[in-house]
Amino acid sequence: MTTTARDVATQFASVVGRDHVLAGDLATMLYARDGSIQDEGDCGLVVLPANTEEVAGCMRVAAAAGLDVVPRGSGTGLTGGAVPLAGSLVISLSRMNHIIEVDVPNSCAWVEPGVLNLDISTAVAHLGLFYAPDPSSQQACSIGGNVGTNAGGPHCLAYGVTNQHVLGMELVMADGEVITLGGPAPDPPGYDLRGVVVGSEGMVGVVTRICVRLTPEPPAIRTMLLDFPTISDAAAVVEQVIAAGVVPASLEMMDRNMLRTIEPFVHAGLPIDAAAALLVEVDGTPADVEAGTDAVQRVAAANNVGHVRVAQDEDERALLWKARKSAFGACARVKPNYFLHDCVVPRSRLVEVMEAIIEITDREDLICLNVFHAGDGNLHPIIAFDRRDADEVERVKRAGDAIIRKCVEVGGTLSGEHGIGLEKRDYMPLVFTEGDLEAQACMRRAFDPDERLNPHKVLPLGARCGEAMLGGREPPEGTWI
């Protein structure tokens, strides 16, 4: 008879304490979801360890019982990566939320995985430092989850995504062994396995400590909001600014539907009659900022810019960023649910893909709002819908499929920061060959030979390594919505 997570609940309680083992129907229902619109999963048990030793103990119990394990941060992920399947054990790292050490001379800090992204920058602001990757959900998402998906954010155009800002980590393996990869040293010895863990979506181990790079605050910052009569004009500015050698700290685009949805929510004075607006931020020395601002305004003037609004103080800057980072929440004013992809396309194909997205969603009679990291071509088309309407759900599925295929067709890739999870797992063969997928499966099995860590995610059925992916186990059936 197969052992279930509940069969060994008392063993987990001996590791983390009875109060930190959740087996009730309400708890397992809540932990069976993440921030995506995936169908509810199947959570067998939830454990909430307080430290590395407890995580290792839980992993040893799970290994002895042959249980699948899903590591979980804040649960804000958007692709079903933290959705447990087939009665998996969920290890929630929310109690591990301490900043362990701030190392100012080496410009880094060791933090636990449950620390919220924004809390790192808040904790070191008095030192003139910050943590650069800034997802829109940074007030709620955990750094452990950011590591899992290689999260990005508006300021990653110039500063780089999570992979460039994680120097090392402590990792608990599938059998409970604890190892350390990388660290603050400029060139740690051995293979760069740190780079394997970042973006691995919980499939190679449970991250229990993270060494993050801290970046000095720039001496000067200027934030601008520019509006345009067409999306083509705004996209041309994106391409031409970077072609001119100017790489802003951020270069974000919002279309008319998005502007009109955000403004009543935030009251930031957004240009609701414009076809598109760019939120541009340049930073560096005062001279760099002046030169960057002049270049952006010069290119914008050559591309039919309407108004150029320059934030006059920190309050106005914060208001403009509140508008941008409230985009997803504001969509609740339109419909109760939303679905989005985060494909990345070449900047030179932005207009073509945006026009295709409009055509696809119009054809399916859907409401689409666009807000995205235009500078690096990371799209975020948001389709607002009501999941209680079965016909609308089917149309959303068709539109999502068509959008992904269009992005890949123009040379794009499946994800810029949200990860693959369940939602985009079966699209992997569109961008990876059979050999590519086999190599990824082999890397995973090097860390987790039995593939019990976050099973059935990322790699589609059919990816092989040796005898068979998943040890011959069939993934549970289900849909992405």
Domain stops at, among 295, 328, 361 = 328
Cβ–Cβ under 8 Å, residues 112 and 106:
no
Q: Are residues 269 and 314 in the same domain?
A: yes
463 confidence band (pLDDT: 50, 70, 90): low
CATH of the domain at 86: 3.30.43.10
Q: CB burial class (10 A; 0-12, 13-18, 19+) of residue 25?
A: exposed
Q: Which domain holds residue 133?
A: 99-216
Q: Are residues 103 and 212 in the same domain?
A: yes
Q: Are residues 303 and 383 in the same domain?
A: no
Examine residue 478 and state whether it is found in any structural domain, yes or no. no
Examine residue 416 and state whether it is found in any structural domain, yes or no. no
Which strand (E) or helix (H) includes residue 122? helix 117-124
Place of tokens 């090392």: 168
State how beta strands 276-284 and 381-385 pair. Answer: unpaired
Whether the pLDDT of residue 171 is over 70: the answer is yes
Whether the pLDDT of residue 389 is over 60: the answer is yes
Percentage, residues of the chain above pLDDT 70: 96
Q: Are residues 62 and 87 in the same domain?
A: yes
Whole-number pLDDT of residue 37: 85
Examine residue 86 and state whether it is found in any structural domain, yes or no. yes
Q: How many residues does the chain have?
A: 481
Count the domains in the chain. Answer: 5
Q: CA 480, CA 456: separation in Å to the nearest integer? A: 13
Q: Are residues 115 and 80 in the same domain?
A: no
Tell me phi and psi for residue 310, to 5 degrees.
-105, 125
Q: Are residues 160 and 231 in the same domain?
A: no
Q: Are residues 230 and 212 in the same domain?
A: no
Q: Are residues 225 and 265 in the same domain?
A: yes
Which strand (E) or helix (H) includes residue 309? strand 308-310
437 confidence band (pLDDT: 50, 70, 90): very high
Domain stops at, among 216, 237, 260 = 216
Q: Are residues 88 and 116 in the same domain?
A: no
pLDDT by residue (tens digit) across 331-374? 999 999 999 989 999 999 999 999 999 999 999 999 999 999 99
Examine residue 361 and state whether it is found in any structural domain, yes or no. yes
Q: Are residues 228 and 274 in the same domain?
A: yes
Q: Are residues 110 and 146 in the same domain?
A: yes
Whether the pLDDT of residue 471 is over 60: the answer is no
State how beta strands 43-47 and 88-92 pair. Answer: parallel
Examine residue 420 and state whether it is found in any structural domain, yes or no. no
Q: Report the candidate in 75, 113, 150 with the shortest Cα–Cα distance to residue 420.
A: 150
Tell me the whole-structure pTM to 2 decimals: 0.94
Examine residue 178 and state whether it is found in any structural domain, yes or no. yes
CATH of the domain at 379: 3.30.70.2740
Give, in order, the Cα–Cα distances in Å from 270 to each of 189, 263, 432: 51, 6, 41
Examine residue 142 and state whether it is found in any structural domain, yes or no. yes
Domain stops at, among 276, 300, 328 = 328
Cβ–Cβ under 8 Å, residues 229 and 275:
yes
State how beta strands 367-372 and 276-284 pair. Answer: unpaired
Examine residue 232 and state whether it is found in any structural domain, yes or no. yes
Whole-number pLDDT of residue 479: 45
CATH of the domain at 290: 3.30.70.2190
Q: Are residues 88 and 107 in the same domain?
A: no
Tell me phi and psi for residue 215, to 5 degrees.
-110, 135
pLDDT by residue (tens digit) across 268-290? 999 999 999 999 999 999 999 99
